Structure 1
Amino acid sequence: MNHVKNAVLQAATELFGDKDPSAVDRWVAADYRQHSALAADGPEALRGLVAGLGEDFRYEGARVISDGDLVALHGTYHGFGPDPLVGFDVFRVDAEGKLAEHWDALTPQVKDTLSGRSQTDGPAEVTETDRTDANRALVAEFAEKVLVGADYSVLTDYISTETYHQHNTDAADGLDGFGAAAAKWAEQGKNLVYKKVHRVIAEGEFVLTQSEGEFGVPVAYYDLFRVENGRIVEHWDVIAPIPAELPHGNGLF
């Protein structure tokens, strides 16, 4: 495990597992920059958040990927509100091994999904590290051409026609499942509009994109893809509305 990933996992364990506010001193940079809608800027705001976590709070991790100085966590928060929240967290780690910046997106956990898959189950271990660059390039091109460019004529150049496991709660497996969901969303006035891809984070067969767009309202899109043999074969996501106001001036991205 690389030192960047290890730093984030250890920090997360002490902050959100042990619920230890003093872990901020060990793991968080003095100029910690916050993008979450749930907390103000700086280490002291994070300390206050950790100190306020209830006895029933726990984090259930599903997968972790690291790319350079960025580490992405995918998992479920229990006790952060009345219902469990599925989320993506992205941390930037500085040269001293401390958390320097944080982005996230959360959505309520849904038990009954069209695919029968949960929002977090499926493969989690990174095994194909030699394919990282190729998989990053594939998904980045897919995001620009298909998601932002809305050119669905090339969809099968990127997504497998044989296997496409879907974890979006409103879509069934396969390209047909995605097409049916998109049609239903359009009827509800919620067209999938991607305006800008802000980050692409890749490790092995997993590639996470962080994007800005609209889904009836302005939203943040976090899409995690698993790539196999040069095609996308699995997809997890969180679509989170962008609040009108944030507790800091850093923006959501």
Structure 2
Amino acid sequence: MVGTFRVDYANIRGLRSNFCDVYNVHVQNRPAKQALGETQISENSDCSEFNVNGYYLVPLFFSHHGLAIYIRNDVAYKLQPQYGLCVNTNFNFMWLKFTVNKRIIHTCFIYRSPNLDSNSTSNEFDALSDSIQRIVSLYPHTEIVITGDFNVHNSSWLRYFGQTTPEGRYVEIFAELNHLTQLVDKPTRISDVVGQAENTLDLFLTSDPDKYTVSVLSPLVKEKSPKRTVWQYEKSNWDNRLSTKIVYRNMGHILSVAD
């Protein structure tokens, strides 16, 4: 039987103001998971106003930045706070473990603010490295996925950059040390300002690159300012193997990853 295991990731820049667009994606596409960055919702907000029928909501809200993960209620998952908790409002992340047939996939969704300095960036990614080592020691055959809005620049590692910053170089080293491959090869931020360069700010790092391919699709929310990312994971055969398709929302493109 051929089926689809779809996961969307989008930089939403305000969940409340764009909730109708989020709701429409759930109704029309029924993604297995939808991860949203820059939700910009207060920590004390009532989450019930953002509920969608047929989905669990896992929030990590902050007035500035923040994350929200919608998980379809037929998907087996478990939040993994033992591998780290977000204590820095400029670096939001959460670990989840997904079980699909016999496969285990540990996924970390992140949002790194461009305001996070290089020392704090290195500390946060050192902590993620420690988490990965702990996970792999307990689950030797798990797949590791680190994905989200990294906001780093590295012209030698990422395409569509004219400079390399210490933060960008450190993320490259983090990926190398943890045997992760970065799959995004399209710009994920396209400015409407003439002459301003395209950038790849949203990344997908995985320990199993052969199970993923990437393409770029249209934006989740239509507006003048750049909007980014939707990941889509597509399962080609539920009985034998899981191939993963990632869709990444951009102002002019969607990035999709599939076997």
User: Computing the radius of gyration over CA atoms, which structure comes out larger, 1 or 2?
Assistant: 1
TM (normalized to structure 2)? Answer: 0.31
- Structure with the higher helix share, 1 or 2: 1
TM (normalized to structure 1)? Answer: 0.31
